[in-house]
Each structure stands twice: as structure tokens, then as C-alpha cells.
């Protein structure tokens, strides 16, 4: 299905962008792009299973719930979702940017990328 392929391709693009941001030491945007990659692969899953346009939301937990995938996540996958949720909002607002930036080291970002790739791969296998 064309719409599913669109979401998968843009998720892959965002995942690659997260690595570019890591190389450039733009750690705030590593987290943001990891969030975006998961959001878009969830929208691919939603489109595949529900066969409707995915909801215009950015909350990963809500998206996973709406496509009935949340209850299939492992504890580690749920932890990653919880970790990524604030990276979408907080990366955009100056009040939170500084606090979030302090929590994102190179090692933490590398770990986020690995975990995000693993989750995205797992979701692709569910398609």
C-alpha cells in the first residue's frame, strides 16, 4: 500500500537524520528525530492495520494505543516510548530546551538511536 510505504520511508529518513544530528553533536535534535522516526512508523502501522489516515497527534503512547500496538510492547519498548514523548514537545520550547539539552550526552544519544532503530525494526516486522 502506497500510504504505508510513505510513512515507512519518512520514518527511515528521520532515523538517518538522527544519526546526522549525532555526528554534528546536535544532541537535542537526535532525541527529536528519534521521536519523529517512531511517530511515523507508528503511523505506518496504523495505516496498515486500521486502513485510515492516522490521527494528527504526536503523542507516541496515544498513537500506539489507537493502533492497538501498545499492549504488544515489551517493558523496554514502553520505557523508550516514555523517554521519547517529551523530546517532541520539549525540543520546541525554550523553557524546556535547556533542561532537555543538559540530559542528552553523546552516549545517551547513541543509546537512543540504537533503541529507536530496534523498536522501528520491530514495528516494521508487525506490518
Q: What is the CATH number of domain 2-126?
A: 1.20.120.330
Residues in the chain: 127
Query: What grid cell was written down for 36?
Result: 519523529
Q: What is the value of pTM for the model shown?
A: 0.93
Report which secondary-structure segment, H or E, holds 108.
helix 106-126
pLDDT of residue 1: 87
Domains of the chain, by residue range, sit at 2-126
What's the pLDDT at 94? 63
* Max CA distance (Å), the chain: 41
Q: What is the pLDDT of residues 73-101, one digit of tens each?
A: 999 999 999 999 888 875 566 667 777 77
From the centroid of its chain, how far is CA 95? 22
The Cα–Cα gap between 108 and 51 comes to: 36
Amino acid at each position: 500500500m502506497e500510504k504505508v510505504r510513505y510513512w515507512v520511508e519518512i520514518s527511515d529518513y528521520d532515523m538517518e537524520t538522527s544519526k546526522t544530528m549525532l555526528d554534528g553533536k546536535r544532541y537535542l535534535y537526535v532525541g527529536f528525530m528519534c521521536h519523529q522516526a517512531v511517530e511515523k512508523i507508528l503511523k505506518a502501522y496504523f495505516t496498515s492495520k486500521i486502513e485510515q489516515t492516522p490521527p494528527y497527534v504526536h503523542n507516541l503512547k496515544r498513537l500506539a494505543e489507537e493502533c492497538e500496538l501498545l499492549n504488544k510492547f515489551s517493558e523496554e519498548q514502553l520505557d523508550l516510548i516514555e523517554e521519547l514523548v517529551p523530546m517532541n514537545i520539549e525540543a520546541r520550547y525554550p523553557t524546556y530546551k535547556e533542561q532537555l539539552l543538559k540530559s542528552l550526552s553523546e552516549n545517551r544519544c547513541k543509546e537512543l538511536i540504537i533503541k529507536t532503530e530496534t523498536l522501528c525494526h520491530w514495528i516494521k516486522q508487525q506490518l
